[in-house]
Amino acid sequence: MDKKQVCELIEQILDSGAFKRAVLSRPKQKQTLRADARLVMLKTGQVLQLASYQADGKALHRNVPREQAPQELIAWMLAQFKQLNLITTGGDCQIMANSQDVFHVVNHIRLDQAQKTQVQAHDAKKSYILPEAPTPFLNLLGVMDPQGRVYDKKRAKFRQINRFLEYVRDAVDKLPDKSGLCVYDLCCGKAYLTFALYYYLVEVRKLDAVVYGVDRKQDVMDHCAQIAQQVGFDRLHFSCGDIESVRPAQRVDIVAALHACDTATDVALAHAVKWNAQVILSAPCCQHELAGQMRADAQNGLWKQPLLRYRMAQLLTDALRTQVLELCGYAVSAVEFIDPDQTDKNLLLRAVRTAKILPRAKREALMNSYLENTARYGVSPTLAVLLRDRLEM
């Protein structure tokens, strides 16, 4: 396609009413990380709002009249980026340009199947569980200023926190007994989500809950404990140590493992299962284990390329984890945790313990499926090894 044809395609997509947002990526200059654009309604009419996110943490915004939007998007892309993605309710369209400004378009949009979107007013407030308002713990964690304005460089973190709380809300609603809740966040890191979890359970839902954050960095745990004391979260506790050192003194209801890398996720999941946790929330990352076990010559040489083998191992790791959790009596769903624009590590495994025992035939079928999958790829996942007694393998 030439430039005129690409502009006409963008115009058609904007006119369809199915347009959600545009994402510009693969920047040509190091100072710019990425950019996005969306349609907003001002008093003077509809405009395309452009936002560019810089390496120094700043976010630059400007508005373009709706009639100039296609030309401006293409000009912006040619000047600063190599790729433009148009995201709609009917699919996505990827536009790339080489150094000679020759366009390559991959269009998966079905406008005939798309739903109409509503253009929001510029000043429309999003409905968050954790509102954009003065919140002491978010201020001390560096997410917002004392007046409740979220810092530009922490905007993605703020959205992540609220997305996480949506899943927590759904999980808590499924708990048969909400009295005296005990919650563990294993490998909690800087504890953004640990604090949010406590705030939601105790301050928002007014539940009787105690929350524990565990991580191996003493200085980080000391800092988090100090913040908890400053904001009066007297039932939020932090301790330094590895997962194996945790010895719960009471029933454990919810276990989160949102920063555990590679097999540390398996250790966290195994402990949650052994504690009979009612809800498990895990955001796996750095799934290296199976990539090292998968043979390059397996599947007729399909995985001889290291990058493709690693990508496949990521999916395989989490797919096998879901099967193990199901065999241990959990209803498991894999859901999108964060916008894929922010990171490709956007998977959340949500497991809720079921009261029903799997029928023998269904359990045997699930076990056979798991064994066939591990044999097919020549892998032995850590989670199944740690839970061997539960799986009776």
CA of 138: how far to CAs of 63, 112, 169, in Å?
A: 30, 44, 19
Distances (CA, A) of 293 to 24, 208, 375: 36, 45, 11
User: What is the rounded CA–CA span in Å between residue 386 and residue 267?
Assistant: 7
194 within 8 A of 185, measured Cβ to Cβ: yes
Q: Report which DSSP code applies to 125.
A: P
By three-state DSSP, how is residue 336 classified?
Answer: strand
CATH of 136-391, one of 3.40.710.10, 3.30.930.10, 3.40.50.150, 3.30.450.40: 3.40.50.150
| Amino acid at position 336, single letter | E
Q: What was the pLDDT predicted at 346? A: 67
Decide: pTM greater than 0.95: no
- pLDDT of res. 344: 53
CA angle 296, 298, 302 (to 5 degrees): 75
- Mapping DSSP to helix (H, G, I), strand (E, B) and coil, where does residue 180 land? coil
pLDDT for the residue numbered 113? 74
**DSSP H or E run through 330:** strand 330-336
> How far is residue 76 CA from its own chain's centroid?
28
Q: Mapping DSSP to helix (H, G, I), strand (E, B) and coil, where does residue 126 land?
A: coil
Predicted pLDDT at 200? 95
Say how far apart CA 321 and CA 270 lie, in whole Å. Answer: 10
Q: Is the torsion defined by CA of 169, 175, 180, 181 positive or negative?
A: negative
CA atoms within 13 A on the CB side of 112: 0
Which residues does 74 contact at the CB level (< 8 Å), separation at least 6? Answer: 3, 6, 7, 10, 84
What per-residue confidence (pLDDT) applies to 266?
93
DSSP, res 114: P
100-133 confidence digits (pLDDT tens): 777 888 888 888 777 777 666 555 556 688 888 8
Q: Does residue 159 contact residue 166 with C-beta atoms inside 8 Å?
A: no
pLDDT of amino acid 219:
96
The contacts of residue 342 (CB under 8 Å, 6+ apart) are 156, 160
Residue pair 82/97 in contact by the 8 Å Cβ criterion: yes
**Residue 120: its pLDDT value, please?**
62
Question: Looking at this protein, which amino acid is placed at residue 247?
Answer: R
Query: What is the distance between the terminal CA atoms of the chain, rounded to a whole angstrom?
Result: 57
Contacts (Cβ under 8 Å, ≥6 apart) of 123:
none
Q: Is the dihedral of CA 287, 271, 187, 283 positive or negative?
A: positive
Q: Which residue has the tokens 């395989």?
A: 316
Contact between 237 and 227 under an 8 Å Cβ cutoff? The reply is no
CB-based burial of residue 186 (10 Å sphere; 0-12 exposed, 13-18 middle, 19+ buried)? buried
Tokens standing for 239?
């301790």
Length of the chain: 393
For residue 338, the model assigns a pLDDT of: 64
pLDDT of residue 294: 77
Whole-angstrom CA distances from 44 to 18, 39, 71, 122, 346 are 22, 13, 20, 11, 37
Torsion of CA 76, 79, 83, 86, to 10 degrees: 10
- Hey, where are the domains in the chain? 3-121, 136-391
Low-confidence ranges of the chain (pLDDT < 70): 118-127, 295-301, 338-346, 393
